[in-house]
Amino acid sequence: MSNEEIKSAVIASTGTAGIVQQSPKISAKDFCAYFGKFKALNNINIDVPEKKVVAIIGPSGCGKSTFLRSINRMHEVVGGTITGSLTLDGEEIMKSDAVMIRRKIGMVFQKPNPFPTMSIFNNVIAGYKLNGHHNKKNLAEIVEKSLRQAALWDEVKDKLNKSGADISGGQQQRLCIARTIAINPEVILMDEPASALDPISTAKIEELIFELKKDYTIVIVTHNTQQAARVSDSTAFFYMGELIEYSGTKKMFTSPEKKQTEDYITGRFG
């Protein structure tokens, strides 16, 4: 083989950047989302790599939550429609079974929403049981494993029978993360998961995200640009339903390409 032949073989197998190209876990291509005639998202193109954290930032109303809800088929539940392509492991999400999609793609919301009438134990396994699993011995194991992974076990192990509402807001949010983990998802979507929490609880959630990406692909929406800079590998900046810029987080925060991105991350608007 000549040098040229070797070079082209390497490029063919690894992509021009010389980095092995992994197929994305989630991929949006010319993706649009509507509420009736209103177009909330216009031609979004994003690849989310497996076991990485992608942050979505942008001012209120720019479509961040709509994008998350589209990924786990919640957009249709609120009456929305879509065009273009949105895939999980290369399969069109809209053509897949919605129940299966929501099992593989868990979601954590802004306001911690444990079930207040249920114990901590039952909160953790609520979703898991909905999926038809009831083996008692198994349940205790899953509860412990999920709470450990959500960095909550040590704080609640002696009060598993207490109500899920009888713990602090930060603990409740980690309980919701444990509930999501218990279903054994592949992707975790988080919509401003720390914006209702105090700084210490926020720091705990951020540490936890760092741990979770060893096992899960994470897409986090945050209006806090500092948080995006701390927790994510890549950042997408949305503005008025458009994806303005998407790049590695370091690059985004040190040398953004678009003026709008720079204005937003330096706090000039939003």
Ligand X SMILES: Nc1ncnc2c1ncn2[C@@H]1O[C@H](COP(=O)(O)OP(=O)(O)O)[C@@H](O)[C@H]1O
Q: Contact residues for ligand X (CB under 6 A)?
A: 35, 38, 40, 58, 60-66, 78
Residue in the shown chain whose Cβ atom is closest to Mg ion: 65
Q: How many CB atoms lie within 10 A of CB 112?
A: 23
- Closer to Mg ion at the Cβ: 69 or 103? 69
Residue 82's beta-bridge partner residues? 33
What are the distances in angstroms from CA 130 to CA 70, 107, 133, 205? 22, 15, 7, 26
> Which residue do the tokens 């040590």 mark?
154
CB of 236 to Mg ion, least distance (A): 14
- Closer to ligand X at the Cβ: 171 or 261? 261
Report d(CA 216, CA 205) in Å as an integer. 15
Q: Which does 40 bind (CB under 5 to 8 A by kind): ligand X, Mg ion, none?
A: ligand X
Q: Which does 28 bind (CB under 5 to 8 A by kind): ligand X, Mg ion, none?
A: none
Report helix, strand or coil for 52.
coil
Q: Which does 164 bind (CB under 5 to 8 A by kind): Mg ion, ligand X, none?
A: none
Residues shown for the chain: 270
User: What contacts 201, CB < 8 A, 6 or more positions away?
Assistant: 168, 169, 170, 171, 173, 194
- Closer to ligand X at the Cβ: 54 or 62? 62
Q: Which does 210 bind (CB under 5 to 8 A by kind): Mg ion, ligand X, none?
A: none
CB of 236 to ligand X, least distance (A): 12
Strands (E), 70-157: 81-88, 91-92, 105-108
Using a CB cutoff of 8 Å and minimum separation of 24, what contacts does 233-237 make?
A: 233/49, 233/52, 233/53, 233/54, 234/49, 234/52, 234/53, 234/54, 234/55, 235/54, 235/55, 235/56, 235/57, 236/46, 236/54, 236/55, 236/56, 236/57, 237/57, 237/58, 237/261, 237/264, 237/265
CB of 237 to ligand X, least distance (A): 11
Q: Which does 122 bind (CB under 5 to 8 A by kind): Mg ion, ligand X, none?
A: none
- Closer to Mg ion at the Cβ: 65 or 202? 65
CB of 208 to ligand X, least distance (A): 22
Contacting positions for Mg ion (CB under 5 A) = 65
CB of 222 to ligand X, least distance (A): 11
Q: Which does 269 bind (CB under 5 to 8 A by kind): ligand X, Mg ion, none?
A: none
CB of 108 to ligand X, least distance (A): 14
C-alpha 217, offset from chain centre: 7
- Closer to Mg ion at the Cβ: 57 or 252? 57
CB of 76 to ligand X, least distance (A): 11
Q: Which does 61 bind (CB under 5 to 8 A by kind): ligand X, Mg ion, none?
A: ligand X
- Closer to ligand X at the Cβ: 65 or 225? 65
- Closer to Mg ion at the Cβ: 131 or 226? 226
Closest CA to 119 of 176, 152, 179, 159: 159
